[in-house]
Chains A and B, each alone.
Chain A
Amino acid sequence: MKRLLAILPLLAVVVLVQLLTSWSGTQFYLTQMTMAAYYSLLIIGLCVLMGYAGQISLGHAGFFAIGGYLSAALTTRSLVPFKEAALVRLLDGCGLLHAGRDLYGGELLVVTPWAAALFAVLVAALIAVVIGIPVLKLKGHYLAMATLGFGIIIYRLVLATPWLGEADGISGVPPFVLFFGVTVSGESSVRILNYYLAWGILLSGLILLINLMQSRIGRALRAIHGSEEAADAMGVNIARFKLQTFVLSAVFAAIAGVLLTHYNGGIGPSEAGVMKSVRYVAIVAVGGMAHLWGAMFMGVLLNFLSLRGVFGSYDDAVFGLILIVIMLFAPEGILGLIAGRKKPAATVPTVEQDGEV
């Protein structure tokens, strides 16, 4: 309960920011705050993978893109030419399709956002399982290169597939009606609602992960991070825990991709780029690897500044510099530095009391 109370001040800040922007007539900041919140959803997921399980991933933009692109393509690409196919008829019969008119008044038959989103996240999770089983046997450079390779393959596929819009990406993605009256959409009339929605989702994700990291799973992950051999000897199923964490972080990335794509009304190939994956790793590193609060705070701050265009044409360079400076001088992250270089939680052995994990 005490852990959850820590959310309250943050909730107050979220409300305060909204009131301040309304009061000063700068509501347009809320748009970037909303987008930053969705990116941070991916980042807290990656934080669990990198900081707690100790597995680097240079391919998380790939999972974000799988979520975003699949839901974008399914909700915009018309199924009219395949109207007679058994699968399309079945989907229609289940109420998963949505008929409408396109920009030119033509007939349009697309998958509903809910069905598309669930499918996209499911596919991302499946791919994470298939990729994760062999990849997570690797360590160090090998793991980094393998996940980087996965990210590049997704990027190339996106660029070379006409169904995914090639270099143009996909635009005209419809709003996502979550339930009655609540819609994920970039319309300025629902800006405040979407701001609270995004932050509500982010904070729910944060609470979920914080609780998870205090549970048996979290202790097992920290044991694995400390020493795989020791954890193995204590009866921790290393492969299973690593895979579960990998899939969990991929699902967070895919959900972020789905929601942000509906919010922006489109997605482009740069979202799948290697630089995006590196940027996510940089943000987790600045927040202090095994520090969910730090990762979330830095995720919101840096994404907000980047989206506001504060870094100009030095955007990528800033993230490169952040990576180097943090890793050289404060490998425990900025918050770790402020806390007087305390030993990070990740290296504190906590496995003694629960040997049967």
Chain B
Amino acid sequence: MTTELFVQYLFAGITYGSIYAIVAIGFNIIYNTTGIINFAQGEFVMLGGMIAISLLSFLPLPAAIALAVLLTMVIGALIEIIFIRWLENPSVLRMIIITIGLSILTREAAVHIWGENIRALPYFVGNEITTIGIMGARISPQVLWVVGVCGVMVVVLHLFFRATSVGREMRACAANRLATVLCGINPRNMVTFSFVLSAGMGALAGCVMSPITYTQYDMGTGLAIKGFTVAILGGLGHSGGAVAAGLLLGVIEAFSVSVVPLAFQDAIAITILLLILFVRPHGIFGSGEAARLKAF
């Protein structure tokens, strides 16, 4: 394999990897405050892209993206308030089934609003044939946008959880729900907030990836299962691990193209997921000691 080809595959891997990492962090945020996995996480990414594409007909690109992210956050909040907030101690099985139902309903709503066509936002800079050379490889500037935006999101999120009071309240809620209530924090608001946050992150990722990977109504399930793979690989609830695992999965997938047919690319991620679940369910970066306290 030549250096150019190597760099080319590497960048393709990093692009997809950063998207997977964002979806995985979305899973982690909600998992940390509620202990549930939101199977509709991939749908937020789809909604972000779709809404931005629709808004583009009467708004400039940055405004369309900003509004799309905002609207998806509102949808995230509404979903939580209508379907989840008022349940008293729901069982895990019940929550799994409810979020799967939400994912189906969102997808079906999307197919009736936007149809089955594959859509895309325009490239932020230049067009589909604009490239920049890095070590002999030709990379679309959009790749840098994806990696850059995802990187900034991870940093901002980290600062948010460390430095702001809402962020600290959310972490407190994740650590000990009862103690949080005793401190005068309403954990239900924190749960709503975690849905808003992960919806917004998913939507923004959906917008920046749209020019390269396109947006279609049924993209959510595939993204969700890969995001989940990454979340598990990195240790559930562990955002730094999710970034590393996301990039790892993206790169593995990109290089696998040269070995196995494209049709089996999804099967690779799932095989990794199954292997990791069987061998090391607390993930590569997760702590085994902490895992023993959780129920797998």
- Residues of A that sit less than 8 Å from B by CB: 54, 56, 58, 134-135, 137-142, 144-146, 148-150, 152-153, 156-157, 159-160, 274-275, 278, 281-282, 285, 313-314, 316-317, 319-324, 327-328, 331
Contacts and interface: CB of A to CB of B under 8 A. Distances in A.
B132 interface: no
**Interface SS, B side:** helix
A281 B271 CA distance: 23
A327 B109 CA distance: 20
Contacts of A140: 92-93, 96, 295-296
A269 to B, nearest CB: 12
A156 B98 CA distance: 26
B94 interface: yes
Given A140-B92, A142-B277, A146-B277, A321 B105 contact: yes
A317 B273 contact: no
Contacts of B83: 324, 328
Interface of B: 36-37, 39, 83, 87, 91-94, 96-98, 100-105, 107-109, 112, 221, 225, 228, 232, 261, 263-264, 266-267, 270-271, 273-274, 277-278, 281, 295-296
Given A278-B100, A320-B104, 11 more contacts: A134-B274, A134-B277, A139-B295, A141-B96, A142-B232, A142-B296, A144-B39, A152-B266, A281-B100, A317-B105, A323-B97
Contacts, number: 116
Contact of A328 (B87, B232, B296): B87
A141 B92 contact: yes
A10 B87 CA distance: 37
Nearest to A322: B101
Contacts of B225: 145, 148-149, 152
B267 A157 contact: yes
A320 B101 contact: yes
Contact of B281 (A142, A144, A159): A142
Contacts of B267: 152-153, 156-157
Contacts of B96: 56, 140-141, 144
Contacts of A328: 83, 87, 98
